Amino acid sequence: MEHNERIYVAGHQGMVGSAIVRQLQKAGYEQLIMRTSRELDLRSQKAVDQFFADQKPDYVIVAAAKVGGIGANSTYPAEFIYDNIMIEANLIHAAHQWRVKKLLFLGSSCIYPKFCPQPIKEEYLLSGFLESTNEAYAIAKIAGIKLCQYYKQQYGDNFISVMPTNLYGINDNFDLETSHVLPALIRKFHDAKETGADKVIVWGTGKPRREFLYVDDLAEACCFLMQNYESNHIINIGTGKDLPIRELAEMIREIVGFAGDIVYDATKPDGTPVKLLDVSRINQLGWQAKTPLRAGIEKTYTWYTRSDVCY
């Protein structure tokens, strides 16, 4: 990507999209195209086609998506499958029609089969049953990956798909009804400290193991791949390290400074038991995650307490 070329970041206000914008600006890219969901409804093919006709982006990064944790996925599966399929189909097809030079589509590690061998290699996609609690989202994201692969296969479009692990960081979603586990725990422990509560209830047994990547590291990886990767195969982005949710909860309790107890509600679902990505492919290309988990959580909590999202 040349610095004078036009780059459209879809979903620039979200956690991932905003981090990618920060990274691009840091690298000296000035011709960034951005639209809010109010300005451009990505679920409308007509609106998306008109946008591409008007703006003619050279590059497209698809970070726009409807996302959420186990609760949100279980409660709103129709919206999760419909919105995501429409968003990605419209963007990928328009990128093909207007002959963009390259497109990067963001998938998610949660779309791998529930009982994958660990660590998860890219070729394990579609090798088994999906996790039921996020099946709608997973099916939509798999459709986006396949769209990229088939457009490349049939037309030669330079479309790539990346598979990030669990993400956290600045501009995360801290709403307890729709958030993922790490920001939800930050919110719970912070609220408990502020109200003087004696305990925090955590969903599940605390036994599942998860890998977490600081979102600014993901943004750096995406920009790296836009310059250095053109394969039709998906590529994982992660740290290659995981930990039990119990250890994560203890770490966040210490960072927040909550002195009470942690109670695990085993009546709530655990989700996939283990989810660790094999990141050897991207490491071999020359990229590795930089931010240690504790340091990343400390940065995120500092931002949370100073921002207007701190409830």
Binding site membership for substrate: which residues? Answer: 188, 203, 210, 270
* Binding-site sequence positions: 11-17, 106-109, 141, 164-167, 180, 188, 203, 210, 270
* Binding-site sequence positions for NADP(+): 11-17, 106-109, 141, 164-167, 180
CB environment 237-274: b (16+ within 10 A), e (fewer)? bbbbbbeebbebbebbbebbebeeebebeeeebbbbeb
Which residues on neighbouring strands pair with residue 168, listed in sequence order? 214
CA distance 143 to 153: 15
Question: Cβ distance 171 to 15 under 8 Å?
Answer: yes
**Angle at 264 (CA atoms; ends 263, 266), nearest 5 degrees:** 145
Decide if 137 is catalytic.
yes
Question: Cβ distance 19 to 216 under 8 Å?
Answer: yes
Catalytic residue (choose from 29, 137, 214, 304): 137
Which residues on neighbouring strands pair with residue 198, listed in sequence order? none
Residues marked as catalytic: 137
